[in-house]
Structure 1
Amino acid sequence: MTKKARSAPAAQRSAAPLGEDRRAAIADAAIHLVATRGLRGLTHRAVDEQAGLPPGSTSYYLRTRDALLSACVNRMLERDLARGSAGTGPPPGLDLEEFLVGMMLQLVRERPDDLVARYELSLEASRRPDLHTAIIEGGRRLRETLATVLAALGVPDPEKTAWPVAAMMDGLMYDRVAGAGSSLSDDAFENAVRTSLSALLTGLRQAKYSE
């Protein structure tokens, strides 16, 4: 995959947002900074500059670093749930296996900042209990959405199997944006995603999940 320079969030290129839009712009800018500069590059001042906001805006809404980190997690969760129809799964009539493949490919292509930031934040969460709680809760809600899809696909014990399926999906996406998978062509990566997910779902349909 040819790496392209990531553009700044739209908030930086337009008039300064207000209200809830400003909160979203702050979170988007923070995610971009974590993805491109790492956690050391994430400061309240840097977020103000990245989002094109007046100095002090970020600290007004999110006074502590923990609050800023949690805002990143919550913003990414908001986007993930919107993509998964807010816990109800995809609309009726869709090829559900294709839905999962498409979701993974879209995340890698359109939201690489979110993926890189998520992995950075997951490591940081091992040292920050509040952040760890936010990530665990976010993961639980995403697995609930995934479980509805797995149930419709005929996978037994979908609430339990959602965890290993999510872990495999995360692993493939992580490797694409930050590991050896970044050297694959787009077609090779897509084929690997389809083959791996299909094999996993086929195996899960044939075997009962045990404790």
Structure 2
Amino acid sequence: MVNPARRTAILDAVIELLATRGLEGVTHRAVDEGAGLPPGSSSYYFPKKAALLIAGSEHLAALLGKDCDELQVSFAEIAATDGMDAAVRHVADELVSYADESRTLFLARMELTMAAARREDLADVGTLLTAAAQRPIRFFLQLISEGREDVPIETCAGLIDGIGLMYATGQGPKPTIDQVEAVFRSVL
């Protein structure tokens, strides 16, 4: 019998392990320990590591989607009350805050995306996570460009991911609101 709370604990542990130990650190034993569950729990739900990673990526995409939905609502509220410039600044501020508050999600996404490039059994994971990561950028750029079709969404997402990756791995400074806002405006 599937216990939704137990399944979620397993998938949360997968994301944490991906962020802290990398792909090789995700073992059934480590997941069980990380989730605080008895040995064998994760292999009951996901007998193979690939299944565990695919389910982890789907869980991660859902978490990113929830964050995106919340950001879209706050963006719309600020745009309606304070104007588009304030809303763009709000999005930049949220992305900068996200660099610290959601570092685990970011690193897990990077780890899974890299694994998808190397492993055929995870190929769809890269597509799923890239779409989830680009969704808020696509939404905001289309709004601030007034629906232009030629907006380089992939370029913007790549720039923001690069800035985030440098910071998350200790290779660069924390992104600033002005920096992220400049990325949005420069691609327009």
Give the structure-1-normalised TM-score.
0.74
Instruction: Tell me if structure 1 keeps the 8 A contact 2:92–2:178.
Output: no
- Match in the other structure for 1:131: 122
Q: Given the alignment of the two structures, is residue 204 of structure 1 paired with residue 187 of structure 2, yes or no? A: yes
- Match in the other structure for 2:63: 79
Given the alignment, which residue of 93, 108, 131 partners 1:102?
Answer: 93
Instruction: Tell me if structure 1 keeps the 8 A contact 2:23–2:111.
Output: yes
Instruction: Tell me if structure 2 keeps the 8 A contact 1:30–1:72.
Output: yes
Which structure: greater helix fraction? Answer: 2
Pairing of 1:28-47 with structure 2 (within 5 A)? 28-47=12-31
1:73 Cα deviation after fit: 1.5
Instruction: Tell me if structure 1 keeps the 8 A contact 2:54–2:125.
Output: yes
* Distance in 1 (alpha carbons) for counterparts of 2:180 and 2:101: 20
Q: Which moved more, 1:169-178 or 1:129-138?
A: 129-138
1:54 Cα deviation after fit: 1.5
Listed as ranges, the gaps of 5+ residues in structure 1 are 1-17, 206-211
Which letter does structure 2 place at the counterpart of 1:111?
Answer: S
Instruction: Tell me if structure 2 keeps the 8 A contact 1:44–1:58.
Output: yes
* Distance in 2 (alpha carbons) for counterparts of 1:138 and 1:168: 16
Q: Given the alignment of the two structures, is residue 177 of structure 1 paired with residue 168 of structure 2, yes or no? A: yes
* Distance in 2 (alpha carbons) for counterparts of 1:103 and 1:198: 11
Given the alignment, which residue of 142, 146, 152 partners 1:151?
Answer: 142
What are the superposed Cα offsets for residues 76-132 of structure 1, whole Å, 9 maximum, x if unpaired? 21111111117x933422243233223322322122222222222222212222322
Given the alignment, which residue of 53, 63, 82 partners 2:47?
Answer: 63
Instruction: Tell me if structure 2 keeps the 8 A contact 1:96–1:153.
Output: no
Which letter does structure 1 place at the counterpart of 2:183?
Answer: L
Question: 3-state DSSP class of the match of 1:82?
Answer: helix
* Distance in 1 (alpha carbons) for counterparts of 2:136 and 2:17: 28
Listed as ranges, the gaps of 5+ residues in structure 2 are 79-85
Instruction: Quickly say closer, same or farther: Cα 1:147–1:41, change in 2 above 3 A.
Output: closer
Q: Given the alignment of the two structures, is residue 164 of structure 1 paired with residue 148 of structure 2, yes or no? A: no
Coordinate RMSD, CA, aligned: 2.4
1:26 Cα deviation after fit: 0.5
Instruction: Quickly say closer, same or farther: Cα 1:137–1:120, change in 2 above 3 A.
Output: closer
What are the superposed Cα offsets for residues 14-68 of structure 1, whole Å, 9 maximum, x if unpaired? xxxx722211110111111122222222111111111111211101111111111
Question: 3-state DSSP class of the match of 2:187?
Answer: helix
Give the structure-2-normalised TM-score.
0.82
* Distance in 1 (alpha carbons) for counterparts of 2:112 and 2:142: 30
Instruction: Quickly say closer, same or farther: Cα 1:29–1:178, change in 2 above 3 A.
Output: same
Instruction: Quickly say closer, same or farther: Cα 1:58–1:49, change in 2 above 3 A.
Output: same
